[in-house]
């Protein structure tokens, strides 16, 4: 039996966080439902030795996108989910995705709902994916939701590609500069030590400082390995554990410039998913569940839960969002207009497009400011090392020529 960690709401509206053992996620959900618990999130907790083969391999987001679009087309054409999964599995090259599709197909054939079968492989899918499918299954418009979900994933991949393209040049500059400084301080400068000692000259302060760093690096190189290992472990903790994600997301949102970028990214994702599901006819409470998962931010996930409760109580969406303090005034105003005019899906899409453009503009501006700053810093460091070497050579040779 597998262990599942869940977050649910009991009959009295209190949040319950606990673990349960069951043969599958579907069985776990049924057991919790019988216990009068409304499950909000549920994740399987498995050890490294018990994960299936597919979980150890990578499935690219683009492959998930193609599967989603194909599945939407097959369902719209009248094929059953089992037949659609079978056809896609036979035409897929990625073994990990083939295994995932075959397992989902077998589970659906045995009577497990499509969304519950997908939930068994949540780790291989985007965080919001299962929530969207689960919500859409309630309305009977799964094909529309999958098609719109594929469109959202496509836009998200395009945005990530633009971000990576913008950051490639600064990353290359930083990498080359670090390599240059390491080569100069660890291999080049130490070769001149014997020469300077033979000449009996007094090295300038800058050269002595650089040589001290070089000797330290040669003798205590293992400290650098420990440092990078500690940084890697810290990075793993901040992204892989609930406490770490909560801490890192709060810190990032408080940073100047970067915090606003993180906020706009979360707002754009939430509005996009909400607009997609609203247009597909998914109930707003279920759409909020998927949107909370799509935010990919612990602060937003916590702050939007009261918004979801307010929506379920019939208080609307705009005012609770304004009370949360997470959404900018522009987004709240657009959603308010959508509520008043009955064009909520359109206004949510407009808000997503607006903050998507703002996000791209801010990232481009940050990159434009970052590139010259990196060049200046690298130039100063490399120039200082080169100057220290030239000063030492000039002083030593000058001293040799004196009577």
Contact between 71 and 80 under an 8 Å Cβ cutoff? The reply is no
Tell me: do 376 and 279 sit in the same domain. yes
Task: Judge whether 148 lies within some domain.
Answer: no
Checking if the pLDDT of 92 tops 60, the result is yes
Q: CA 265 to CA 247: how far, in whole Å?
A: 18
Tell me: do 31 and 97 sit in the same domain. no
Tell me: do 27 and 72 sit in the same domain. no
More confident residue, 58 or 337: 337
3-state secondary structure 292-323: HHHCCCHHHHHHHHHHHHHHHCCCCCHHHHHH
Tell me: do 200 and 263 sit in the same domain. yes
Q: Given pLDDT bands bounded at 50, 70 and 90, which one contains residue 53?
A: very low
Q: Given pLDDT bands bounded at 50, 70 and 90, which one contains residue 48?
A: very low
Tell me: do 109 and 232 sit in the same domain. no
Checking if the pLDDT of 373 tops 90, the result is no
Q: CA 142 to CA 176: how far, in whole Å?
A: 49
pLDDT at residue number 397: 59
Contact between 334 and 328 under an 8 Å Cβ cutoff? The reply is no
Please compute, for residue 71, the number of CA atoms within 13 A of its CA located in the half-sphere on the CB side. Answer: 24
* pLDDT tens digits along 184-241: 666 776 676 666 666 666 777 877 787 777 778 778 878 888 998 999 999 888 877 8
| Number of residues assigned to the chain | 403
Contact between 118 and 133 under an 8 Å Cβ cutoff? The reply is yes
Contact between 359 and 379 under an 8 Å Cβ cutoff? The reply is no
Q: Which domain holds residue 47?
A: 2-51
The rounded percent of the chain whose pLDDT value lies above 90 is 16
pLDDT at residue number 126: 81
| DSSP 8-state assignment for residue 125 | S
Task: Judge whether 131 lies within some domain.
Answer: no
Tell me: do 225 and 256 sit in the same domain. yes
Contact between 114 and 143 under an 8 Å Cβ cutoff? The reply is no
Close Cβ partners of 290 (under 8 Å, ≥ 6 residues apart): 128, 131, 132, 134, 135, 273, 277, 282
The predicted model gives 30-35 an average pLDDT of 82
Task: Judge whether 134 lies within some domain.
Answer: no
Tell me: do 232 and 303 sit in the same domain. yes
Q: CA 24 to CA 157: how far, in whole Å?
A: 31
Task: Judge whether 354 lies within some domain.
Answer: yes
End-to-end CA distance of the chain: 88
Greatest Cα pair distance in the chain: 99
* Domain C-terminal end among 28, 51, 74: 51
Close Cβ partners of 331 (under 8 Å, ≥ 6 residues apart): 267, 271, 321, 351, 354, 355
Tell me: do 186 and 269 sit in the same domain. yes
Name the range with the highest mean pLDDT among 91-95, 125-129, 250-254: 250-254
Tell me: do 29 and 62 sit in the same domain. no
Task: Judge whether 379 lies within some domain.
Answer: yes
Task: Judge whether 110 lies within some domain.
Answer: yes
Q: What is the CATH number of the domain that holds 29?
A: 3.10.20
Tell me: do 68 and 175 sit in the same domain. no
Close Cβ partners of 12 (under 8 Å, ≥ 6 residues apart): none
Name the range with the highest mean pLDDT among 1-5, 167-171, 264-268: 264-268
Q: Given pLDDT bands bounded at 50, 70 and 90, which one contains residue 401?
A: very low
Q: Given pLDDT bands bounded at 50, 70 and 90, which one contains residue 49?
A: very low
* pLDDT tens digits along 283-308: 777 778 878 877 878 899 889 989 98
pLDDT at residue number 50: 41
Tell me: do 334 and 224 sit in the same domain. yes
Q: What pairs with residue 22 in β-bridges?
A: 2
Looking at the 3D structure of the chain, how many domains does it have? 3
Backbone angle region of 93, left / alpha / beta, with phi > 0 → left and psi within -120 to 50 → alpha: alpha
Checking if the pLDDT of 52 tops 60, the result is no
Lowest pLDDT segment from 43-47, 125-129, 282-286, 332-336: 43-47
Average pLDDT, the chain: 81
pLDDT at residue number 200: 65
* pLDDT tens digits along 118-166: 888 878 888 778 877 877 777 677 888 788 788 878 877 887 787 777 6
Task: Judge whether 30 lies within some domain.
Answer: yes
* pLDDT tens digits along 97-116: 888 899 899 889 888 889 88
The DSSP result for 344-392, as a single string, is: HHHHHHHHHHHHHHHHHHHHHHHHHHHHHHHHHHHHHHHHHHHHHHHHH
Q: CA 70 to CA 150: how far, in whole Å?
A: 9
* pLDDT tens digits along 4-22: 788 888 888 788 888 888 7
* Domain C-terminal end among 10, 26, 51: 51
Q: Given pLDDT bands bounded at 50, 70 and 90, which one contains residue 88?
A: very high
The rounded percent of the chain whose pLDDT value lies above 70 is 87
Checking if the pLDDT of 403 tops 50, the result is no
The predicted model gives 53-76 an average pLDDT of 81
């Amino acid at each position: 039996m597998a262990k599942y960690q869940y977050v649910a709401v009991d009959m009295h509206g209190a949040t319950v966080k606990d673990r349960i053992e069951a043969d599958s996620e579907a069985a776990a959900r049924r057991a919790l439902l019988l216990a009068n618990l409304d499950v909000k999130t549920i994740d399987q907790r498995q050890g490294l030795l018990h994960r299936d083969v597919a979980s150890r391999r990578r499935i690219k987001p683009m492959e998930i996108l193609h599967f989603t679009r194909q599945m939407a087309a097959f369902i719209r054409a009248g094929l059953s989910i089992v037949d659609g999964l079978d056809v896609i599995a036979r035409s897929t090259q990625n073994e990990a995705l083939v295994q995932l599709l075959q397992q989902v197909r077998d589970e659906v054939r045995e009577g497990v709902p499509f969304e519950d079968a997908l939930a068994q492989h949540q780790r291989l899918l985007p965080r919001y994916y299962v929530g969207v499918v689960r919500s859409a299954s309630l309305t009977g418009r799964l094909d529309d939701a999958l098609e719109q979900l594929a469109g959202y994933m496509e836009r998200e991949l395009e945005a990530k590609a633009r971000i990576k393209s913008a950051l490639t040049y600064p990353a290359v500059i930083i990498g080359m500069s670090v390599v240059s400084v390491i080569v100069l301080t660890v291999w080049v400068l130490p070769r001149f030590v014997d020469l300077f000692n033979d000449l009996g000259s007094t090295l300038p302060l800058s050269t002595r400082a650089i040589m001290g760093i070089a000797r330290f690096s040669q003798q205590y190189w293992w400290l650098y390995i420990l440092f990078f290992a500690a940084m890697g472990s810290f990075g793993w903790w901040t992204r892989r554990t609930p406490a770490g994600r909560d801490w890192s997301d709060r810190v990032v949102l408080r940073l100047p410039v970067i915090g606003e970028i993180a906020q706009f990214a979360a707002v754009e994702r939430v509005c996009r998913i909400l607009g997609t599901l609203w247009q597909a006819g998914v109930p707003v409470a279920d759409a909020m569940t998927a949107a909370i998962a799509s935010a990919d931010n612990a602060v937003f996930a916590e702050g939007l839960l009261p918004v979801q409760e307010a929506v379920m109580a019939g208080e609307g969406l705009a005012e609770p969002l304004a009370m949360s303090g997470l959404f900018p005034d522009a987004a709240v105003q657009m959603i308010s207009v959508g509520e008043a005019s009955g064009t909520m899906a359109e206004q949510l899409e407009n808000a997503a497009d607006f903050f998507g453009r703002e996000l791209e503009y801010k990232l481009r501006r940050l990159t434009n400011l970052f590139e010259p700053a990196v060049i200046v810093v690298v130039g100063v460091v490399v120039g200082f090392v080169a100057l220290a070497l030239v000063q030492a050579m000039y002083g030593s040779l000058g001293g040799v020529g004196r009577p």
